[in-house]
A and B are shown apart, each in its own frame.
Chain A
Amino acid sequence: MSGTTGPTSSDVVIKICGAAGDGSIAAGQILNLAAAGMGYHVMNFDSFPAEIRGFGKSVAHSRISVERVLTPGTMADCLVALDDPHSITELASLRENGIVIYDSKPADYHEEEQAVAGWLQPGMIGYGVPLRELSTEATKGAKSRNIVALGVISKLFGLDADGFRWAIGKRFGGKSETVRETNVTAFNLGWEYAARELDKADPIDFGNVALARVENVSIVSGNEAAAQGCIDAGLRLYAGYPITPATKIMEVLGKKLPAMGGVVVQTEDEISAIGHVVGGGFAGKRCATATSGPGLCLMVECINLGVMAEVPAVVIDCQRGGPSTGLPTKTEQSDLNIAIFGASGESPRPVLAPTNVEECYSLVLKAFEVADAFQTPVIVLLDFFLSSRMEDVVWSREAADRFGAYEDCLATPTPEPYARYAITETGVSPRAYPGMPELVHPITGLEHDEHGLPNYSGPVHTRMQQKRQRKLDTLLARWPAPEVIGPHGELAVGIVSWGSTVGAAKNAIKRLSRSGMKAGGIFPRLMWPLAGDALREFSARCGTLLVAETNSSGQYAALVEQATHRDVLRVCEAAAMPLPTAAIEAAAAKAHG
Chain B
Amino acid sequence: MGQDQTTLGGTLNAEIVADISTVQQSGLLDYRSEELPTWCPGCGYYGITQALMQALADLHIENRNLAVVSGIGCAGRMPFFVNGYGFHAVHGRAVPVAQGVKIANPELTVLVVGGDGDGLGIGGGHLPHALRRNVDLTYVLFDNGIYGLTKGQSSPTTPTGQVTGSHPYGNPDRPLDAVTLGLAYRASFMARGYAGKPHELYPLMKQALEHRGFSFVVAITPCVTFDKVNITYERLRELWVPIPEDHDTSDLGAAMQLALSDRLYYGVFFHEDRPTFNDNVKDTAGKARG
Contact = CB atoms under 8 A, between A and B. Distances in A.
Nearest to B129: A268
B35 interface: yes
Contacts of B87: 279, 282, 309, 442-444
Interface residues of A, number: 47
- Minimum-distance CB pairs A-B, first 4: A279-B100, A275-B96, A442-B86, A280-B104
A436 B63 CA distance: 10
Contact of B101 (A272, A434, A438): A434
Contacts of A305: 89-90, 93
Contact of A438 (B33, B64, B90, B96): B64
A454 B82 CA distance: 14
A439 B33 CA distance: 12
B93 A275 contact: yes
Interface in B24-79: 33, 35, 63-67, 69, 79
Contact of A287 (B90, B100, B102, B287): B100
A440 B285 contact: no
Given A258-B289, A453-B80, 15 more contacts: A237-B100, A239-B100, A259-B285, A259-B288, A261-B285, A263-B281, A279-B100, A280-B101, A280-B104, A284-B105, A440-B83, A440-B85, A442-B79, A442-B80, A444-B79
A268 B185 CA distance: 14
A283 B90 contact: no
A327 interface: no
A336 interface: no
Contact of A283 (B93, B108, B133): B108
A268 B125 contact: yes
B193 interface: no
Interface string A108-135: 0000000000000000000000000000
Contact of A444 (B88, B95, B287): B88
Nearest to A236: B104
Contact of A279 (B99, B281, B285): B99
A446 interface: yes
A52 B27 CA distance: 61
Given A261-B285, A435-B64, A437-B64, A283 B101 contact: yes
Contacts of A433: 85
Contacts of A237: 100, 103-104
Interface of A: 236-237, 239, 255, 258-259, 261, 263, 265, 267-269, 271-273, 275-285, 287, 301-302, 305, 309, 433-446, 453-454
Contacts of A268: 125-126, 128-129
15 contacts: A272-B125, A278-B89, A279-B69, A283-B104, A285-B104, A301-B90, A302-B90, A309-B87, A434-B66, A434-B67, A440-B85, A440-B86, A441-B85, A443-B88, A454-B88
A275 B129 contact: no
Nearest to A282: B87
B15 interface: no
A435 B85 CA distance: 9
Contacts of A255: 288
Interface centre among B65, B88, B100, B125 (most CB of A within 10 A): B100
A271 B96 contact: yes
B103 A302 contact: no
The DSSP consensus for interface residues of chain A is mixed
Contacts of B86: 440-444
Contacts of B133: 265
Interface residues of B, number: 44
Given A259-B289, A268-B125, A268-B129, A439 B64 contact: yes
Contacts of B99: 265, 272, 275-276, 279
A281 B85 CA distance: 13
Contact of B90 (A435, A437, A445): A445
Given A284-B105, A440-B63, A446 B281 contact: no
A443 B101 CA distance: 13
Contacts of A446: 88
A461 to B, nearest CB: 17
Contact of A440 (B69, B84, B93, B128): B84
Interface in B106-131: 107-108, 125-126, 128-129
Nearest to A313: B100
B97 interface: yes
Given A267-B129, A305-B89, A445-B88, A440 B64 contact: yes
Nearest to A280: B104
Nearest to B77: A454
Contacts of A281: 100, 104
Nearest to B68: A442
A135 to B, nearest CB: 35
A268 B92 CA distance: 14
A302 B90 CA distance: 7
Given A445-B90, A446-B88, A280 B100 contact: yes
Contacts of A453: 35, 80
A175 B105 CA distance: 40
A283 B100 contact: yes
A435 B244 CA distance: 40
Interface centre among A268, A269, A282, A284 (most CB of B within 10 A): A282
Contacts of B289: 258-259
Contact of A277 (B88, B100, B102): B100
Contacts of B285: 258-259, 261
A174 to B, nearest CB: 14
A441 B96 CA distance: 20
A442 B90 CA distance: 14
Nearest to A309: B87
A488 B193 CA distance: 75
Contact of B103 (A261, A265, A435, A442): A265
Contacts of B96: 267, 271-273, 275-276, 279
A258 B103 contact: no
B175 to A, nearest CB: 24
B217 interface: no
B79 A278 contact: no
Contacts of A285: 104-105
